[in-house]
Amino acid sequence: MKKMWTLLKKDLWTSFTDKTIVLMLFTPVMLGIIFRIVTYDTWMILLTMSLFNLVLAPLCNFPLLITEEKDRGTLPLLFRSKVTVGQFTASKAAASLLTGECMSAVVFFIAGADPALLPLYLLINLVCMASFLPYGFLTALYARDQNSVNVYSTLSVILAFVIPVFSYWNLAFGSIAVFIPTSFMGTVLNQVNPVEGFLDSSPAWSLAVCVIWFAAGLAILYAVRKKRAFFPVSAGQIK
């Protein structure tokens, strides 16, 4: 437990000091402030910036934390120090979720939403972000450095962010969005401002979608692990 706490503190520090991660972390907040100046539409700010933050945390920030270790060449040292791949991954996942939740709360207050919705909003954010973590980890496995993370994660970010947002204007996007975890945010958005037919799937359905995505991601990682070590430098320590 002490080792995990040490790793988590280091990863949280990196999240707020690494330039690339800081840029990704604060982009939704900065855009939210601009949107707030331009428009007072709480619903639209939550729709765009909350979803943007929700997908960046697990699909960009999480793999960036992992590849930051690759860039610095610290992976061999960590694994020689008896840090397991599970501890290494869990620490970075927790750091990305915690920072993602913090930024979600900031965006929520910038948007000026009803504080009574904050607990539900943060819970849904957490569930949605967690459902994308396996895919962020998959990106980190194949990315050589932080620059390639941004390239590899582009498609998944577009899929998870653009389709639910565009479903407001296009019904075809809406029919696809209900099968993507980010549509769960419609539960909160429709309490801020009900929009008929917009991401109106039931909470049970949305939760099931999140669970299925998470399980599918784990299955993909299991298949990858059967063919190769996640991190070759640790292959001798992970059975």
What secondary structure does DSSP assign to 22-36, as a single string? HHHHHHHHHHHHHHH
238: pLDDT strictly greater than 50 = no
Say how many residues make up the chain: 239
- Give a yes or no: residue 231 inside a domain: no
pLDDT, position 51? 92
- Choose among 147, 3, 153: nearest CA to 87: 3
Give me 189's structure tokens: 């958005």
pLDDT class for 233, splitting at 50, 70, 90?
low
pLDDT, position 234? 46
How many structural domains does the chain have? 1
d(Cα 121, Cα 143) in Å, to the nearest integer? 32
Contact 96, 136 (CB under 8 A): yes
- Give a yes or no: residue 11 inside a domain: yes
- Give a yes or no: residue 172 inside a domain: no
- Give a yes or no: residue 129 inside a domain: yes
- Give a yes or no: residue 179 inside a domain: no
d(Cα 32, Cα 45) in Å, to the nearest integer? 6
- Give a yes or no: residue 124 inside a domain: yes
Average pLDDT on 2-9 reads 89
Q: 19 CB contacts (<8 Å, ≥6 apart)? A: none
d(Cα 85, Cα 91) in Å, to the nearest integer? 10
Give me 77's structure tokens: 């040292």
User: Of the spans 33-37, 90-94, 184-188, which averages the highest pLDDT?
Assistant: 90-94
> How far apart, in Å, are the Cα atoms of 95 and each of 21, 47, 58, 84, 236?
12, 24, 10, 17, 27
Domain hosting residue 49, numbered range: 2-162
Model confidence over 52-111: pLDDT tens digits?
A: 999 999 999 999 999 988 888 888 888 888 888 889 999 999 999 999 999 999 999 999
pTM of the full structure? 0.90
pLDDT class for 196, splitting at 50, 70, 90?
low
Q: Which of 92-101, 181-190, 202-211 has the lowest mean pLDDT?
A: 181-190
- Radius of gyration over alpha carbons of the chain, in Å? 18
In terms of Cβ atoms closer than 10 Å to its own Cβ (0-12, 13-18, 19+), residue 5 is exposed
Give me 190's structure tokens: 């429709």
- Give a yes or no: residue 205 inside a domain: no
- Residue 49, phi then psi, degrees to nearest 5: -80, -35
- Give a yes or no: residue 168 inside a domain: no
Contact 209, 179 (CB under 8 A): yes
